[in-house]
Every structure is written in C-alpha cells, then in structure tokens.
Chain A
Amino acid sequence: MFKYLPLTDTNRKDMLKVINVSDVDDLLIDIPSSLRLKKPYAILPRLSEHQLRKHLKANQGTVLESYRGFGAYEHERPAIVDTLSSRQEFLTSYTPYQPEVAQGTLQYIFEWQSMITELTGMEVSNASVYDGPTALAEAMMMAVNIATHRRVIVASPLLPHVEKVIQTYAHYRNITLDVLPSKAGLIDINALEKAMQEPFSAVIFCYPNRYGNIEYFDRFVAAIHQQKALVISYNDPFALSRLKTPGSLGADIVCGEAQSLGLPLSFGGPYLGYLATKMDYVRKMPGRICGYTKDSRGERGFVLTLQAREQHIRREKANSNICSNQSLLALQATIYCASMGKQGLVKAFDQATQATHYLAQELVKTNLFTMAFQAPFAYEVTLTYVGDTEALENGLLQHGYLLGQRLDDQRVIFYCSESKTKTDIDAFVSLIKEVHHDL
C-alpha cells in the first residue's frame, strides 16, 4: 500500500471480478513479454516527507545580494501573489476546455490579456507563451507567415540567450536571420539601411536593449511598412510602465519576458512569455486567446476563442504547434499588476531607475569605472571597469554579493531593483573599492 495508491486487496478482488479476469496481468494483452520489466527501476531510494525536506534544504543554491539582471529581474513581490495563486482551484485545474467550470482561469486570462494591451499599447494579446525568447521566435515566425519573405533583420542588440533561441528556430524554419552589429551600444543605422535593401518580413527592435540602453525605433517604421514588412519589438513589460509603448511607436508585434511582473527568479524557470499584436493580425497569432461572450442565461462569461487556428483543429496547418500557455504564471503576473496598480508599477520603475542611476554615478566617482555608452538608460547600465571583471566578481562573491553580468573582461552591466536603498548602494560601492584594492 502507498499513500497515493488507495486500492486495497479487497478492492482489487472485487474489481477483477467485474472485469472478469483473475489478475491485472491478464489485461496486459499485446505487450510482448520481452518488453516487460523484470526488476524495479534503479533509481534513488525512497525519502519520506521528513527526509525529503532535510535533503533538499541541505541542497539549495546560494542566495546572494544581487546586482545582476540581464533577462531575469528580482523585484519586490507582494505576499498575496503566492497565497492566491496556490489555491487548488487555480493550481491543479486543467486547461479551460470545459469553460463552464473554468471561468476562474478564463477570467484571469482575460485580465492578463487586458493588462498586456495596456502596457504595450497594442490591440490584442494572447494568453501567454513559454518565455521571452520563444515568444520572439513565435513573433518572428508569425511575421514570416504574414509577409512571406523568409528573412528577418535584428536591428537592436539582444540578450545572448534570446539571440541563440531565435537563431535555433530560424535555422529549423529556413528563415535567414540577419543579426546586425551594434554601434556604440545602439542600432547601427547604416547597417540597417543596407540590410533593408534585400526583401525581408520584419525588423526586430528591443528597448531597453542588451546593454540597458534605451533607443526608440519610430523613425524606421515608415520605411519598414513601405516594404510591406513588420516591426517586432521585444520589451521587458516592467519598463513599459514608464517608457513609451511600442504600440505608440508603430510596432506590429510586441513580445518579451514577463518574469519581471512579479515572478521569482526560479533559477530560470518557469518564466512567462507574452505576445501582443494588432487586431488585423489576430488570426495569425499563435497560442491561446480568451474572449468575452454571454452564456445561455445572458450572463457575462469567457471562453477560449479563435481556436480554429490552433493545433488541435488545424493540425499540420496550424500557425504554430504551441498547445499550452504559462497560465499560472500569467495569474501571478496579473495579481502582481493588480497589487502594484496604476501608480505602483510606475513607482517601482522610478525607484529601480533612480537606484541604478545613483549606483552608476557613485561607481564613476570611484574612478574605477567609466560609462561604457552615451545612451539613456533606466534600471540597467553598462560600465567599463579598470581591472579584470572576473576577479572582481570572485572577490565580491566571497562577501555574498553578485556583481552585475560580466559582458567581457572589462564591461559589466549592473541592475538595481526598486528595493535597493541608498545605504545598500553606498555599502556596495564601498565593498567594490575594498575588493578592488585587495586584488
């Protein structure tokens, strides 16, 4: 007997009688005996709950005082995000294919879609996708589907892991990905103009970009649209609380990583991709979409809609093979945005930005760092260090601190969350000076 296996011997006897066989083995017709397992799995031995707790508590990662972002951002998370999202009705339920008993899921998906349209300035959002990088891969494929040329240009410098993912997808989809070099941490306009001379389906922009620099793309939109191509914008939605929306700048598809909307760092997953577009392209958008309707009693209700585009109906003619979304994470992000609210999310952005600007200023004052670029930045900034960044990282690690992401031997990109106080930053700067002197 086992706690997750309730059938007793009596139960088994009674059930086998109904089925009219003497043993479960009699039901395993058609399975060649050569395939039947002869011994138990050779896996790690059983742990009781008590032992499991002890074991995993002793095998955790080291939590650090961190100044690293680069695609994964710690933020202050309201306690209610976890308590509400761990309710079993949300946590253990299935995809809403029986909408009458899944209005909870459908309603929060509808709220999530609404919030994403607000943040991005776009007309419609889907129910979420796996993560930021795969969202961009889906956006790229969607654009090629619409504009037909199997070539996409990457104009802004993207995070390396984002670039690797879209390169993988592009390879297997026979799409040529033209990744342009950057210039002084920003778009190389000459390279872009030259790249646009050959047929293409889309140009990908990103702000804040890989270096934390903020550069808007609106001046390129007319030329791109004239060539019947699309503008794709990859954005951290946390930044869109304050910065100009890609929708207002003329984007056709907007996507990105929404881990920054109240999800824990989680050693990389589960995260939360979002994808938004114009109503004109809604039937080309992959993933699930939730829509409003009425029920047989005339009451407000929500259903998955436009499903005829999806894999379970179109099969090999679907826009994508994507089946699920990241529902529970979309719920967490929705609760986060509801808690932070209209003012709170902007305030968090302003605080993170202020802290990062202060850090940059103070680090430059030490004469150990200079600004790597002359571009506007918010909560991430790239600085050039006088010494070896790896040595500095190791030195700080000894004190339990995580340096910003090392871009190479000289440059580091620092991130300050909204929770960094002036005292925290002053202490960090002092520590850097101390560690530097000891190197």
Chain B
Amino acid sequence: MTYNRLIFELSSPGRIGFELTQQGFQDGDVSTPLDTSLFRDSPADLPEVSELEVVRHYTKVSQKNIGIESGFYPLGSCTMKYNPKINDEMASLDGFRLIHPLQPLSTVQPLLKLYHETATMLNEITGMAGTTLNTFAGAHGELIGLMIMKHYHELRGDHRRTKVIIPDSAHGTNPASAMMLGYETITLPSKDGLVDIDTLLPFLDDTIAGIMLTNPNTMGLFEKDILKISKAVHDVGGLLYYDGANLNPLLGIARPGDMGFDIMHMNLHKTFSTPHGGGGPGSGPVSVAAHLVEYLPSPVVTKVGEDYTLSYPEHACGQVGGFYGNFLVMIRAYSYIRTVAHDLMNVGPNAILNANYIKESLKNDYKLVIQKPCMHEFVFSGLIDQSTGVKTLDIAKRTLDFGIHAPTIYFPLLVEQSIMIEPTEVESKETLDQFIAIFKQIAHEAKTQPDIVKTAPHSTPVGRLDEVFAARFPTLHFKALQKVEQK
C-alpha cells in the first residue's frame, strides 16, 4: 500500500512541532498591546504534529517521487542534467542565505559582484551585450524579453508593430507571452521541421514587431537559414527573439548573439544545472544585444570603479520582480560555470553525440520524423508498428515501470504521437544502452503483449489517474477531499 496520508490526517490536538525562543517578557511589559478585536475567530486549521511525525511524513512523501538521482530522465526540451551538490552547498552559505535584500549596499558588495560576474559570463556564452538575472523562470524571461521588444518600438514612436511571428513548433509559452503583451500571433507553418524562408517572407512587413525562434528548434534541428532569417527580419525593422530552452547543444558550438538575435532568455535550471525543484524555483535570465541594453529591467547591478551599485535607468522597461531575481539559484549557476569552465566547450558536442546514438539505435522500432542528424534531442512519431493500438501515452507509462522517467510526450504539437528524447551530456554510454534496451523491449511488448503496455504503469506508487474526474469535480484542498471521500 502506497503511503498517501495527508499531513492533516496525522493531527492530534495540542501536539507541537517546534519550540520558539522564550522572549522573557513579563505581564505588563507592553502597555498597549494589539487590540484582540482585530483577531480572526479561530486559528487556521493547520496540523498539530510532533517534529518526528513531520519528518517521517515528508520522508515517505518524497519516496513517491523520482529525481535525477533515482535514474535517467530523458525529457526533451527540459535538459535534465545532474544537479551538482557543491552548487547546493554554496547556495546555503549564511552570507548569501541570511542577507536581507534591502541591506545597505556596502554590506552586500560581494553579492552584487557575483551577480555582475555571472551576468558577464552569460554575456560571453550567449554572445550578447547585457544580461539581467531578475527574471524568475523561462516563461518570465520570455515575458520580459517581449516587454523589451515592445518598449523598443514604443520609444521609436513606431505603433504599427502589432504582430509577432511564431513557428508552429514553438513551446506554448511563446504565443501566451506574445498575447500578454497585446501582440497578435502569426503562426508560421514549418517545412520539414524547419522555418522556411519562402514561407516567412510574405509575412514580413512593418507591422511585424519581431519573430520568436528556438534554435535548435523543438524538433532538435538547427535552423539552417538562421542568418537569412535574421537579415530578413531586421530588414523590415523587426527584432529577433531567441527562446533559450534549447541552449545546451550550443555550448561549445555557436552563440545566439552571433546568429543575429536581439533578445533572448535562457534557463539556469536547464542549461546551467540548477535543480528543477519539482517545478521551481528556476531562473530565466534575459540577455540583449548592445542597442537594447538600456531597456533591461530595473534594478540593474552596475559596476562603478571597483564598487557595485543598483541603478534604475530612465529607459528600463520596468521592474519585473520584488528584488534581484532568484539569487540563490544564480549562485548555483555561478558555481556550475566556475566548476565546469573550459569544459563547457564539450557540453554541446557530448549532448549531441548522446542524442544521435539513441536515435540511431531505436530508429528501427520507432518512427523517425526527420531523417537526418539531430542536435541534443529528437522526436519519434510513436511506434513504427502501431497495429496493436499502443499509443505514445502507453509507451510513456510503461517506461515508468523500468525506473526511469518517460521522455516528453505529445509535444511538439505538429508531430502525431510525439515522443521527444533528450539525454544530455552527463549520461554514460551504459545508461544510454540501458534506455535503448528498455525502449526496444517496450516496442516488442507492444507487438506481443500490448495489454501490459496499455494498462501500464504497474509498479509505480499509483496507477493511471482519473484526470476526467479531477477536472470535472475539482477537489482542490483537504476539507473538500474529506467531503468527497465521505460520500
């Protein structure tokens, strides 16, 4: 039986889990305390449990998850590389963790310096001129990147730029971010998985604010016409936005800035090894070409002589978060870059080799959409032999029975039954061979015992979950759950 008790169910009235410092006040020390008429009628129904009960509970809860250290995690476009422990250790230093964001600048010079150095190194790696680390996640970076695009055109007095071009292979955050900025999205159909310059040209006019591209794209292919595309977009006065989700294979190979991109975001929790945390915190730094540096959001960490300060430039696009972004995540990325250093040049090539090895090893069982070398990831369109009705969802669920996380499924949308695999550079050949064997076995099972695949997973903490029920009868907190289970 899988442990599935909620912390509230372990409650026993009167139990406490923590001891606060005794303050030593006596009755009457405070002559005018806070008026109790302002108090809520009864306290929040938080659990009442002892410390050991909390520890056991969350330990057992954690055992229902798999992390990168549990096994292979080939999620396409997520770059699930190893999260080095030394980075976590550095992020836990008191002189980072216990620092208030509004301390006088004289007491935080080393922190501002680390921010500045990280930004400078990211500039070098991306080929851009300025970087902000104030953005909290990839989607947040995209939003701010588009704010910069909009701000740039606004300040030029150009109000005709109402549209953004986005390939149909793009991640959903791209059109969502464009919509948030009030842009109309033009969806560009891909040709052989790529942006086709002839398809693009008719859309290019002075109503285009810019184009958002991922390179390599979500099919794992390098946009070979990128230089032509960037010239064409610049020629009509538009800007190029780079979605850096797939930056990993470019490490050691090429830089978005050199391709003509004006604005980009990257993901520290993908390319730069910071932990995903089950869905956050991430960090989505935004980098820009020289002509856009003045539009980066405030506050800007600025070097003045040998000192560091925070500036609020006149043309900054705004302030996009409370303080300076996810600082402790940045410390992890800094530690990663300092640790790997010149071996960053080998990250891209190794990631590409690993991906192509898996692709070539499985192409006789799974349907390859694009018959040419990929970069760090590639897409299958389900099994070659789909005669027994085994779908991508089933394959993904069966993968879980082997102790590894399934690849990305049903994305990109332009591929039917898509399975997107990204091994990253950290995996050994032995791990890849193990994965290849598992996927071959599943292909075999799909032919000989399809039911075992269609009803998978069998050995995970829970079986397939009723998502229809969850959406139809949303039960979103403990007291609601109690009502439903009582029925």
Contacts and interface: CB of A to CB of B under 8 A. Distances in A.
Give yes or no for direct A-B contact (beta carbon below 8 Å).
yes
B352 interface: yes
A100 B339 contact: no
Contact of B480 (A52, A245, A292): A292
Contacts of A197: none
Contact of A61 (B32, B108, B372, B425): B108
Interface in B290-312: 297-298
Given A315-B172, A316-B179, A61 B373 contact: no
Given A114-B477, A282-B474, A346-B43, A100 B400 contact: yes
A305 B108 CA distance: 42
A94 B409 CA distance: 14
A104 B460 CA distance: 12
B319 A165 contact: yes
Interface stretch (A31-39, A176-184, A186-194, A427-435): A31-39
Interface residues of B, number: 202
Nearest to A32: B227
B207 interface: no
Given A288-B279, A358-B30, A74 B357 contact: no
A305 B470 contact: yes
B173 A311 contact: yes
A389 B55 CA distance: 45
Contact-residue size bin, chain A (C-beta under 8 Å from the other chain): 35 or more
Interface string A346-388: 1110010111011001000000000000001110000000000
B129 interface: no
Contacts of B173: 311-312, 321, 323
Contacts of A66: 100
Contacts of B321: 130-131, 133-134, 165, 269
A314 interface: yes
B4 A341 contact: no
Interface stretch (B16-24, B383-391, B445-453): B16-24
B54 A335 contact: yes
Given A46-B338, A89-B63, A104-B63, A311 B40 contact: no
A353 B149 CA distance: 46
Given A35-B259, A297-B462, A325 B279 contact: yes
Contact of A4 (B35, B89, B340): B340
B180 A124 contact: no
B318 interface: yes
Contacts of B327: 266-270
A228 interface: no
Q: Which of A7, A34, A300, A354 has the most CB of B within 10 A?
A: A7
Contacts of A20: 360
B34 interface: yes
Contact of A89 (B70, B97, B325, B346): B70
Q: Which of A66, A72, A289, A338 has the most CB of B within 10 A?
A: A338
Interface string B79-111: 011111010111011111111111110111011
Interface in B65-86: 65-70, 73, 75, 78, 80-84, 86
Interface in B238-259: 252-255, 258-259
Interface in B115-155: 117, 121, 124-125, 136-140, 142-143, 147, 150
A71 to B, nearest CB: 6
Interface stretch (A198-206, A219-227, A413-421): A413-421
B337 interface: yes
Given A37-B345, A172-B181, 19 more contacts: A27-B356, A28-B352, A41-B344, A52-B86, A61-B96, A92-B67, A105-B65, A131-B136, A265-B101, A267-B327, A269-B101, A269-B329, A270-B327, A316-B176, A337-B47, A342-B48, A343-B43, A343-B48, A423-B24
